[in-house]
Amino acid sequence: MIGKVMRGRRVGGLLYYLYGPGRANEHVNPHIVVGWRHPAEVEPSLRPEGGRDFRNLIGLLNQPLAALGERGYAEPVWHCVARAARQDRILSDDEWAQVAQEIMTRTGLAPADDDNGVRWVAVRHADDHIHIVATLARQDGTKPRTWNDFYRVREACQAVERRYGLRVTAPGDRTAARRPTRSETEQTRRRGWDEVPRTVLRQHVVTAAAAAASEEEFFRSLEAAGVLVRQRMSQRNPGEVTGYAVALPKHRNRAGELVWFGGGRLAADLTLPKLRARWRGGSDHHPDGAGADDRREIWELVTTAARQAAAQLREATVGETGGAADVPGATSDLLHVAARLLKDQRLRNAAEAFDRAAREPYARILPPTRAGLELRRAVRRLGAGTRGSGGSLIADIAALVVAVAELRTAQGRMAQAVAARAAAQHLAVASPAAGAPVRLAAADFPQPVARPLGTDPGQNPRSSGRSAGPPAPSASPRHR
């Protein structure tokens, strides 16, 4: 089950939308299944001409907002969509009522035992989802907290999945990168771009961070790749850089202004403080150029480091992970840098697929281990610009990626294990020598990642998951 949190200004506009026909007449039999009062007390009555009378419900929902006055939120309407997976059975009204109450309790907005919580209703107008509408003012005249509400909703959805035996979804632990918004995707299609700017920028930032040992190298690498960089300076300490934002020269809004993305808007672990913590593990100097012998030595160094890291990971899957905990992140660095140097789209696809497998929950930066440190140092030397064939290295990267998948499986982090397996499949296509370890590993995996029929081997298959649907016109989604 997926939960999506949005905010808006007018509760009336949202209710009219939920009880209306929808954008394609998809709304059927809209009705309240649960709320702060019994549904029969607040269900909008039918007018003689057949429409609904929302005046009573709108007035009741707005009363606490009027009492709170200017102390309230600028967008006081809290809107949450909870949607079951396509494969799930149809839940009853009573079950959806329990889902809504779980969400309101976990978020702290209206726990079941709190008579002074916010006023809210849950509207159902389809088999597979409900809409929770709440006004952000408690009935005791105080302002409710909404901090991290998205993650509390995610926890509630996972609890409901276990309770009703629904399809298990990935945790909201910030291991996934920020996904492009609908408007970004539509703009990309209209302008005929190959990829969404947010995705392109994240790939540039990850690759530059992997090849750099300091923020100076990081910023130089981004600029060399044609990425515009804007540093954020401290207001307290002049000259101190506290953050950064990146943009593509072609990506502008309707006013012709550049669209900037801070590191945190690309992925949770790409903020400048997180990157600095990673670079703090060791700053090694590498020459700007290298001869043929040096290039061979560097590729051999990377191959050896990859093999040693894979061996360390395999030991970690049956024991403590402390000796290799940072290896998945270093593996992501290796994939991105190798893809840039070899200019291989299949490697780039593997790096993109692996992305989620690399991160620790909630963007924690782990202390460096010897295996991870050696691999990152080798990757930095590789990132200095040396080219090579990469044939045997790809097979070793594949074995390393499979070892990461086994580690994530042992940790019970299945969404990350699936991401690593998908990357291994791309690597098997990129190098025949990589196929054997990938096939052997996939045979023991409880959920093998198979390429959907009709997709090309070198392409990223589109997600088969169902869209959460268009947002209601009165609310704007918050992407986290």
Q: What is the pLDDT of residue 322?
A: 66
In a domain, 473, yes or no: no
Residues 347 and 243: their CA atoms lie apart, in Å, by 30
Residues 374 and 384: their CA atoms lie apart, in Å, by 16
Q: Which of 169, 204, 225 is the C-terminal boundary of a domain? A: 169
Lowest mean pLDDT among 4-8, 27-31, 470-474: 470-474
Q: What is the pLDDT of residue 168?
A: 80
Residues 220 and 385: their CA atoms lie apart, in Å, by 14
Q: Are 57 and 19 in contact (CB under 8 A)?
A: no
In a domain, 328, yes or no: yes
Residue 317 burial (CB count, 10 A):
17
In a domain, 226, yes or no: yes
How many Cα atoms occupy the beta-carbon half-sphere of 264 within 13 Å?
10
- Identify whether residues 146 and 227 lie together within a single domain: no
Q: Is 90 exceeded by the pLDDT of residue 333?
A: yes
Q: What is the average pLDDT across 21-25?
A: 72
Percent of the chain with pLDDT over 90: 57
- Show Cβ contacts of residue 358 under 8 Å, excluding neighbours closer than 6 positions: 328, 329, 331, 332
- Nearest to 243, CA basis, from 212, 221, 276, 267: 276
Q: What is the pLDDT of residue 433?
A: 55
The mean of the pLDDT values for the chain is: 84
- Identify whether residues 209 and 331 lie together within a single domain: no
- Identify whether residues 75 and 125 lie together within a single domain: yes
Lowest mean pLDDT among 282-286, 310-314, 317-321: 282-286
Q: Are 388 and 295 in contact (CB under 8 A)?
A: yes
- The confidence band for 468, taking pLDDT boundaries of 50, 70 and 90, is very low
What's the pLDDT tens digit per position in 143-190? 999 988 988 999 999 999 999 999 887 776 667 777 888 889 999 999
In a domain, 136, yes or no: yes
Sheet holding 228-233, edge to edge: 228-233, 241-247, 261-262
- Identify whether residues 409 and 435 lie together within a single domain: yes
Q: Is 60 exceeded by the pLDDT of residue 359?
A: yes
Residue 257 sits in which domain range? 195-279
- Identify whether residues 126 and 163 lie together within a single domain: yes
Q: Is 60 exceeded by the pLDDT of residue 58?
A: yes
- Nearest to 465, CA basis, from 232, 64, 221, 179: 179
What's the pLDDT tens digit per position in 77-136? 999 999 998 889 999 999 999 999 999 999 999 999 999 999 999 999 999 999 999 999
What's the pLDDT tens digit per position in 245-261? 999 999 999 899 999 99
Distance of alpha carbon 451 from its chain centroid, rounded? 22
Q: Is 60 exceeded by the pLDDT of residue 9?
A: yes
Residue 478 burial (CB count, 10 A):
13
- Identify whether residues 338 and 268 lie together within a single domain: no
In a domain, 259, yes or no: yes
Residues 27 and 22: their CA atoms lie apart, in Å, by 5
- Identify whether residues 84 and 14 lie together within a single domain: yes
- Nearest to 445, CA basis, from 473, 475, 396, 409: 409
- The confidence band for 37, taking pLDDT boundaries of 50, 70 and 90, is very high
In a domain, 461, yes or no: no
Lowest mean pLDDT among 308-322, 366-380, 386-400, 442-456: 442-456
- Identify whether residues 49 and 156 lie together within a single domain: yes
Q: What is the pLDDT of residue 297?
A: 84
What's the pLDDT tens digit per position in 274-302? 999 888 865 554 544 444 557 778 888 99
In a domain, 73, yes or no: yes
Q: What is the pLDDT of residue 173?
A: 66
User: Which CATH number is 132's domain given?
Assistant: 3.30.930
- Identify whether residues 358 and 305 lie together within a single domain: yes
Q: Are 78 and 7 in contact (CB under 8 A)?
A: yes
The reported pTM is: 0.64
- Identify whether residues 106 and 245 lie together within a single domain: no
Residue 387 tokens, joined: 């080219």
Q: What is the pLDDT of residue 279?
A: 87
Q: What is the pLDDT of residue 321?
A: 59
In a domain, 472, yes or no: no
Q: What is the pLDDT of residue 39?
A: 95
- Identify whether residues 273 and 300 lie together within a single domain: no
Lowest mean pLDDT among 223-227, 417-421, 437-441: 437-441
Q: Number of folded domains in the chain?
A: 3
- Identify whether residues 17 and 155 lie together within a single domain: yes
